[in-house]
Structure 1
Amino acid sequence: MKIRKAQLEKIAVNKKQYPSPHLPEIAFAGRSNVGKSSFINSMVNRKDLARISGKPGKTRTINFYNINDQFRFVDLPGYGYAKVSKAEKEKWGPIIEEYLSNRENLIEVILLVDMRHEPTELDLMMYNWIKFFGYSGLVIATKADKISKGKYQSNINMIKNKLNIEDPELIIPYSSAKNINKDLVWKILEDKLLIK
């Protein structure tokens, strides 16, 4: 994928604020510190398109990124950060659910998990939600450069078992720092977007 344009198009907390649905969208969900911003930046070859915060839990909005005027990446609010108030946490569920259940141009939702750790109960809940809405169940396992290749299989099995994934090929190790499997992820996304 040759990236000619990548820009933040819209920030929203409800459907009235979403951009026009004329472009297909791929959304990314995950815990606050899983590396969604780093993932988006690495995929589009930008250092600071998606803001990386020193404080996890800062993404409390849905951020829409226009890529090549062909499609959008959508960064959903991160969840599960312990230091955020209960009231704040309770706001995120409805923001995410409204988007997932109302966006007719949404073609895929991908869960990001940290490859080093067992997914949490919140990850499992999010994954079940994604499957409930009819998406493929693709999982990007971030921070793959932080563990040895020899541990990949056991960590993939850990993620597979926790999230009840039948097909381990749905779990893709990824590193934003080293661009591990970036071409593979783009190939999968291009197929979903029907972009050649």
Structure 2
Amino acid sequence: MIHFQKAKFTTSAPDITKLPADSGIEVAFAGRSNAGKSSALNTLTRQKSLARTSKTPGRTQLINVFDLDETRRLIDLPGYGYAKVPEAMKRKWQAALSEYLQERECLKGLIVLMDIRHPLKDLDQDLVFWAVDSNLPVVILLTKADKLKPGQRKKTVLEVRQASKNFGGNVEVMAFSSHNGIGLPELEKKLTTWYCPQDNEATDTPEA
């Protein structure tokens, strides 16, 4: 059982050399700077300001670490793709993101957040391909799902699921809303399978 509400901020790091020891299990959240990443983290942890939301997207310039317990962590990766951020800063973030995804051994899954009204932008797709190439399971979390009517929401989810087959690898698609909790139970269930792999193995063991 993972108690997401117990999440607490540990540190902010400019790159992986300043992160905690590469052990235990980490799950990372990444997305465009206006995709609602901070709101999603706050909703997941039932905390209003664990991840700071900003009226100016692109302010999250560091890798933020939140401990769930002694061996499990949530990682808030720098937002990307916001036009008003200087080019040099974008390159710095991209390098940190690349290094983290490719070299962090304790990273067991990646949540890629996309606004359900504007999914699968080029940078989003690049990130998912990147994760698949690194053999990471991915959840595409379509945020702000409350902005669409139920029929349109379902249609968009199905369209993104169909498109996600092009990525190969282990990629799932979920709708999510920080405003009314759409998709929160499904997200918690998926994260728990990543954080508690031994439970999955016990469940998957066939009967004699």
**Counterpart in 2 of 1:95?**
96
CA deviation profile, 1:131-177 (whole Å, cap 9, x unmatched): 1111123211100111111112321244345553579x811000111
Secondary structure, counterpart of 1:100 in structure 2: helix
Instruction: Verify the 8 A CA contact 2:7 2:68 in the aligned structure 1.
Output: yes
Q: Which runs of 5+ in 1 are unaligned?
A: none
Quick check: which has more Rg, 1 or 2? 2
Structure 1 position 34, deviation (Å)? 0.3
Partner AA of 1:93 in structure 2: Q
Greater CA deviation, 39-48 or 114-123?
Answer: 114-123
Amino acid at match of 2:63: I
What is the match of residue 112 of structure 2?
Answer: 111
Q: Which residue of 1 aligns with 2:126?
A: 125
Match of 2:189 in 1: 187
Question: Do 2:5 and 2:47's aligned partners in 1 also have CA atoms closer than 8 Å?
Answer: no
- 1:3-14 residue pairs with structure 2 within 5 A? 3=4, 5-14=6-15
Q: SS in structure 2 opposite 1:135?
A: coil
Q: How does 1:71-82 map to 2 (within 5 A)?
A: 71-82=72-83
Partners of 1:160 and 1:183 in 2: CA distance: 19
Deviation at 1:2, TM superposition (A): 3.4
- Identify which range, 63-72 or 23-32, moves more after superposition: 63-72
In structure 1, distance between residues paired with 2:128 and 2:93: 16
Contact 2:32 2:114 in 1 (8 A): yes
Residues 108, 137 of structure 2: 8 Å contact kept: no
- The alignment-based identity, stated in percent, is 35
Q: CA RMSD in A?
A: 2.1
- Is residue 35 of structure 1 aligned with residue 42 of structure 2? no
Query: Separation in 2 of the partners of 1:124 and 1:90?
Result: 18
Aligned residue pairs, count:
196
Q: Distance in 1 between matches of 2:155 and 2:107?
A: 32
**1:66: which partner in 2?**
67
What's the CA shift string for 1:34-90, capped at 9, x where partnerless? 011111110010000000011001111100111133411101111000111111111
Q: Which amino acid aligns with 2:175?
A: P
TM superposition score normalised by structure 2 = 0.86
**With structure 1 as the length reference, what TM-score do the two structures score?**
0.91
Aligned to 1:142: 143
Quote the residue 1:56 is aligned against: 57
Q: 1:4 to 1:175 in 2, by over 3 A?
A: closer
Q: Deviations over 1:171-196 (max 9, x none)?
A: 10001111112111111111121176
| Cα gap change, 1:12 to 1:119, in 2 (>3 Å) | same
